[in-house]
Amino acid sequence: MDDFLFRGDLAALDPADFMAEWKWDGIRVQAVAAQRAEGTAARLYSRTGEDISKSFPDLLESLRLPGAIDGELLVVRDGRVQSFNVLQQRLNRKTVTPKLLAEFPAHLRAYDLLVDGDQDLRERPFAERRARLEQFVTRLAEPRVDLSPLIAFATWDELARARKNPAAAGAGEDADAVEGVMLKRRDGPYVPGRPKGPWWKWKRDPFIVDAVLMYAQRGSGKRSSYYSDYTFGVWTNGENGDELVPVGKAYFGFTDEELLQIDRYVRRNTVERFGPVREVVHEPETGLVLEVAFEGLQRSTRHKSGLAMRFPRINRLRWDKPPREADRLENIERMLAAIDSTRLAATNRSP
């Protein structure tokens, strides 16, 4: 499965050979249920094979039929898919309280059916597995488990338009939780790993802004000796003129060489220390501008800017740009307004 699908690759493929579905902004899991003498026993596994069942007892209760589902773990509240930031409230929890279960209800959005009862379907064509999945979910009759909708398309241009505007292409109010589209060959078996050909992941184009590095923190593991976690901000009107407000934090997207460059810059331009965090000089004429790519925006009361970015990453280092030329909060607000407007228009068009 490739992360990027180029137009040249599309031109060589027949759209009639493929089916498409939304790629949701959660974590990929496999839900497995087996029949035991005492009843159905269910387990939930991450894409790395880690057993995460203890963290999601509410979802396990919903897996009452023997089988194995490949899908996306999400939090669905009031009928809408929540952001990955909300899902994180349920991840890696040692204790799962009733309050947590009520506030962050787990949900499984099904992509594929690997086992149905005692039948192994992995070698069957995807089109057949999908039909069996629809029947399986219907028999399960469980609101915590539903289908990831297929995307109707006859040409690559139609799929490209759906990818660009999920809200208008059937994702509706859940459009903000769409990362992109998944293409699967109709005749393809279920193959583990990342094989090129049977599956393609085509992510939505990211948003891009120029922001200013404000704070840096040491990383973990191999990066524990380097300042690799960066908080960045954009300009807005303050009481005493323009000021920077943080809008996100990123710790990937740069090369190893760029990591060394930023680490050296942080050490040489530290103006204050707060435990493991260093404040870096960020003045209109002095500072480091980062080109930041991100997948989406949402309102947030946790940040002074009032906004939160989804999956921000460092796209490029702008050594050539003075901080005063970085983006403004008003510009990002306009981005969010455009997203909200598109979502509302799509909702109004829905039957």
C-alpha to C-alpha distance for 177 and 174, rounded to whole angstroms: 6
SS3 (DSSP) at 235: strand
Nearest C-alpha neighbor of 107 from the set 81, 78, 69: 81
Q: Which residues contact 129 (CB under 8 A, 6 or more apart)?
A: 112, 113, 114, 121, 190
Fill in the DSSP letter of residue 167.
Answer: G
Question: Could you tell me where the DSSP H helices lie in the chain?
Answer: 7-11, 57-60, 84-87, 98-103, 126-140, 156-164, 256-268, 329-349
CA angle 212, 328, 86 (to 5 degrees): 80
Catalytic residue among 23, 94, 203, 304: 23
321 is catalytic: no
Rg, C-alpha atoms of the chain: 22
CA dihedral (191, 192, 195, 198) in degrees, to 10, reads 30
Active site residue ranges? 23
